Amino acid sequence: MWNFKILPFLCGFLFLTMSSYAQDLKVEAKLINPSDEIDNGKIQLRVLDGEEPFTFKWSKEDVKLTSSSASNLVEGVPYTVTVTDAEGRTFSAEYTIESESIAEHFNGTFKPIVAGLGSVLFWDPFAAVGLYDPVVYKDFEQIFAPGWNADTEEKFKLEKWLVEDGVEVKEGDVIARLSRGRLGDIEVKSPVNGVLKHLDKEGDFIHNPENKKHQIETNSHLFARVKYSDKVVLTHPNGDPVKNQIPFIVIWLIFGAAFFTFRMGFINIRGFKHALQLASGRYDEPDAPGRITHFQALATAVSATVGLGNIAGVAVAISLGGAGATFWMIVAGFLGMSSKFVECTLGVKYRFISKEGRIFGGPMNYLRHGLEKRNLGKLGAFLAGFFAILGIGASFGGGNMFQSNQSFEILSNQIPFLVGQGPWFGVFLAVLVGVVIIGGINSIAKVTGKVVPFMAAVYVIGALIVIGINIENIGPAFNAIFSGAFDPGALKGGFIGVLVVGFQRAAFSNEAGVGSAAIAHSAAKTYHPPSEGFVALLEPFIDTVVVCTLTALVLIFTGKHELTGVSGVELTSSAFGSVISWFPYVLSVAVFLFAFSTMISWSYYGMRSWTYIFGKSNRSELIYKLLFLLFVVLGASVSLGAVLDFSDMMILAMSFPNIIGLYILSGEVKGDLKAYFIKLKDGSLYKKE
């Protein structure tokens, strides 16, 4: 008689047997570490059985589902892959390319740390609580003219529609015939199933290189769309969904900037004129306490922010967010002016000047002593110490190694004999930096006071020349900026994506809210702390509203923002070179000066953080300076990968303790501002005749 009690066991046995068979796909893996260089590991798979076609689901987002190999892998970090054949049989495994060199070990160790810190800095609180769906959906498939590129000289013309507007089409249906000059006529097929939407009329030029509007507008070679019946998830090459995240660090910085803008009564606008007067030296008091003038403090702080981010970072932002990202960069820059005002006012107010005239100021002081006044001494001591630790790490990394590393890479691309001479370049740069920083803040201020205006003038004049030569593009360019800011194409990630890219670039570039600039401004000669706050609010204006915007306009006016396959400095250089053939060489020199000035300014920021932790003695300062110069050589000598990513994130993390303190002390700053305006109006402030 059949025993029904054993039926569940039989079912379970059959399930396990079938599962084992379904996963019984045999795959051979070859792990390759070709050199001591970081991030060049490779995994090659060979499927030994199963039915084609195979799909390969890698954990690395940029590896296609059809690719049996993955390259540019970080040594020492595990990667997973799942192989599936046509019958559904699978194979899953985890592989790690073994680290061999010291650089590879360092890079592999720091990669998980960077990922952990990134999960905090770039965590999306809105998506976490379900306020919106971060997944990017495609409502329609865009159809572009085949064979088009941003530098094309051919005219693309829509000769005939072969399917009426609003008609449902299937994947592979021929929908239109185009003429493409020397490239020849071509019939275009629908890439997906859906409803066809005509965007151009028969006989119209889809792209005409002689039409300036076509050179400037985003996706000028777009001529049709196919609307999906259902929304389709936009995916990375490995099949993972693309997500539009609103990083917590961007929210933290921008919300703080907006709060201080309202709290201080739009000081970024109503204080702008007086800020220019102060920076010009009109209110410089010769006997005031401090070591450097208002202008020198401004130049030192600007030199720390104006750098590679303004050239390479903006190009990346425009590539990701389109022309519309420029608008949000400008908005974020204006808001950031208020953050700078608050932090630099406090930097001067809570500075300490020793008997020898040495100045110790910055967030460490106002976080500790300002909060102590409010019976928050323990919180203040913790925030100050936390800020100082982050400041030291940031000065060695983002303010030092990153600058020497990137300046060597950029110069070696233009000057061939530098290739392979990284250590010697590092020694040369360390000597230049050492000559300046050994002299302290006065020496740093004198150098930045000359270098910053010069390098800024060269870059601004070059940008204005490029824009001037292409001035007929002004209408299409600004139309692309505004239309892209509020109604971006689906391929740019939607409105949220463009807004975040613009805000993120501005926040990362001008460092408003990070607190670093308050260290430089605390050395300014003044009796009135708000006066230095006024000077400081010019920094985000110069860095973001002027320099970043000019970079973006150069890219847009020349139409290079549509180039694919290049990004960063290379893209910006291409835009300048399209108008001024020799300007890429000038740009390389400007990049070097940007990096050099950033390093000497950050050496001071790091040193003040160092002395807060390790003591204010001359010996302590000398130890820091020697370590800083060692890291200059190290940065130019080796590939540091995730180590640099980590140190760069430390700069952003400095905003956490700083902005908490600014919120608590903002009422105090508002009171000081009110008192300062009274003195300004009644003429009791010192003023040069």
Query: Does the pLDDT value for residue 567 go beyond 90?
Result: no
Cβ–Cβ under 8 Å, residues 294 and 279 = yes
Query: Does the pLDDT value for residue 292 go beyond 50?
Result: yes
CB < 8 Å & 24+ apart, contacts of 105-110: 105/76, 106/640, 106/643, 107/38, 107/39, 107/74, 107/75, 107/76, 107/639, 107/640, 107/641, 107/642, 107/643, 108/74, 108/75, 108/76, 108/77, 108/642, 109/76, 110/641, 110/642, 110/643, 110/645, 110/646
Percent pLDDT > 70 in the chain is: 86
Measured CA to CA in angstroms, residue 3 lies from 9, 17, 123, 175 at distances of 11, 21, 56, 64
Query: Does the pLDDT value for residue 18 go beyond 50?
Result: no
Q: What is the pLDDT of residue 564?
A: 57
**pLDDT (tens digit, 9 = 90+) per residue, 199-224?**
889 888 888 887 767 666 666 788 88
Cβ–Cβ under 8 Å, residues 157 and 242 = no
Rounded CA gap, 253 and 361, in Å? Answer: 22
Length of the chain: 689
Q: What is the pLDDT of residue 562?
A: 61
Q: Which residues neighbour 264 within 8 Å (Cβ) at sequence distance 6 or greater?
A: 338, 341, 342, 666, 669, 670, 673
Q: Which residues neighbour 319 within 8 Å (Cβ) at sequence distance 6 or greater?
A: 561, 567, 571
Collapsing DSSP to helix, strand or coil, 39 comes out as coil
Measured CA to CA in angstroms, residue 402 lies from 394, 448, 618 at distances of 10, 19, 27
What pTM value is reported for the model? 0.78
Query: Does the pLDDT value for residue 248 go beyond 70?
Result: yes
- pLDDT bucket at 520, cuts 50 / 70 / 90: confident
Q: What is the pLDDT of residue 16?
A: 42
Closest to 406 (Cα-Cα) out of 425, 383, 381, 380 = 425
**pLDDT (tens digit, 9 = 90+) per residue, 136-183?**
777 788 888 898 887 788 888 999 999 999 999 998 999 999 999 888
**pLDDT (tens digit, 9 = 90+) per residue, 23-64?**
578 999 999 998 888 888 999 999 998 888 999 999 998 899
How crowded is residue 228: how many other Cβ atoms within 10 Å of its Cβ? Answer: 16
**pLDDT (tens digit, 9 = 90+) per residue, 471-510?**
877 777 777 777 777 765 544 455 666 777 777 777 667 7
Please name every residue paired with 142 in a beta bridge, in sequence order, or none if there are none: 225
Structure tokens belonging to residue 631: 């890291």
Q: What is the pLDDT of residue 20?
A: 41
DSSP 482: H
- Helices assigned H by DSSP within 51-182: 102-121, 125-128
275-282 average pLDDT score: 83
Q: Indicate the helix (H) or strand (E) that contains 134.
A: none
Structure tokens belonging to residue 20: 């084992």
338-349 average pLDDT score: 90
Rounded CA gap, 365 and 518, in Å? Answer: 10
